[in-house]
Amino acid sequence: MAQYNAKIAPFINIEFVVTSEWWEQPRNHKGLDIATYSSAGTNVPVYSMCNGEIVVNSYDDGGFGNYIIMKDSTSKMGFLYAHLRDRSNLAVGSKITVGQQVGIEGTTGHSTGIHLHVEMQDLTNHDWQYQAEKSVYSNPADFLGIPNVAGITVIYEGTPRRGWRYPHSSTC
Ligand SMILES: [Zn+2]
């Protein structure tokens, strides 16, 4: 049994663990790290938490690995998902909705194991700022509705949106 029920999350109907809290010290960890440790191994879908569009789809060799940034069309909140297994096939400008698969949990870039690194920034007044100071970021744990504490187990019992899949994925 998971300790917490999230109100929204990048993983749906699968238990995950907070492996590093947001703004963990001393590294000023800019994201929230979550991992499913799933028997599904390297094939766990990650889902959008916003209704908006893809604004960045890129690869960062030394850091994020395969990553995307999504922007909510109403709140203008930005969501960065890093270390994805593959390059997302959603082009910049693609419309996305909550519960839509946008990638697969992975460990590309600077990562020591399969997990998802989630960052959030309010993009109302600027584009995404890399390596910014703390005030530029929002706390993803708050958005998920869970404590910002490493080691807790969480589940989000949502509904994936159907109709999109990776070409080489067995997930739906
Ligand atoms: Zn991280």
Q: How far is the CA of 14 from the centre of ligand 1 (A)?
A: 20
Q: How far is the CA of 20 from the centre of ligand 1 (A)?
A: 7
Q: How far is the CA of 40 from the centre of ligand 1 (A)?
A: 21
Q: How far is the CA of 29 from the centre of ligand 1 (A)?
A: 6
pTM across the whole model: 0.93
Give the C-alpha separation, 121 to 78, whole Å: 5
Q: Is residue 121 part of a domain?
A: yes
Q: Is residue 167 part of a domain?
A: no
Both tokens assigned to 54: 């893809």
Q: How far is the CA of 148 from the centre of ligand 1 (A)?
A: 13
Q: Is residue 166 part of a domain?
A: no
Q: How far is the CA of 13 from the centre of ligand 1 (A)?
A: 22
Q: How far is the CA of 64 from the centre of ligand 1 (A)?
A: 9
Element (H, E) at 55: strand 52-60
Q: Where are the alpha helices (DSSP H) in 80-120?
A: none
pLDDT of residue 161: 87
Domain range holding 64? 4-155
Nearest to 114 by CA among 60, 38, 48: 38
pLDDT of residue 171: 43
Q: How far is the CA of 106 from the centre of ligand 1 (A)?
A: 12
Q: Is residue 16 part of a domain?
A: yes
Nearest to 59 by CA among 81, 78, 41: 81
Beta strands at 95-96 and 52-60: parallel, antiparallel or unpaired? antiparallel
Q: Give the chain's domain count.
A: 1
Q: Is residue 116 part of a domain?
A: yes
Q: How far is the CA of 31 from the centre of ligand 1 (A)?
A: 5
Residue 54: CATH number of its domain: 2.70.70.10
Tens-of-pLDDT digits for all 172 residues of the chain? 899 999 999 999 999 999 999 999 999 999 999 999 987 677 899 999 999 999 999 999 989 999 999 999 999 999 999 999 999 989 999 999 999 999 999 999 999 899 999 999 999 999 999 999 999 999 999 999 999 999 999 999 999 987 555 444 444 3
Q: How many residues does the chain have?
A: 172
Q: Is residue 71 part of a domain?
A: yes
Q: Is residue 101 part of a domain?
A: yes
Q: Is residue 100 part of a domain?
A: yes
Residues with C-beta atoms within 5 A of ion ligand 1: 31, 33, 117
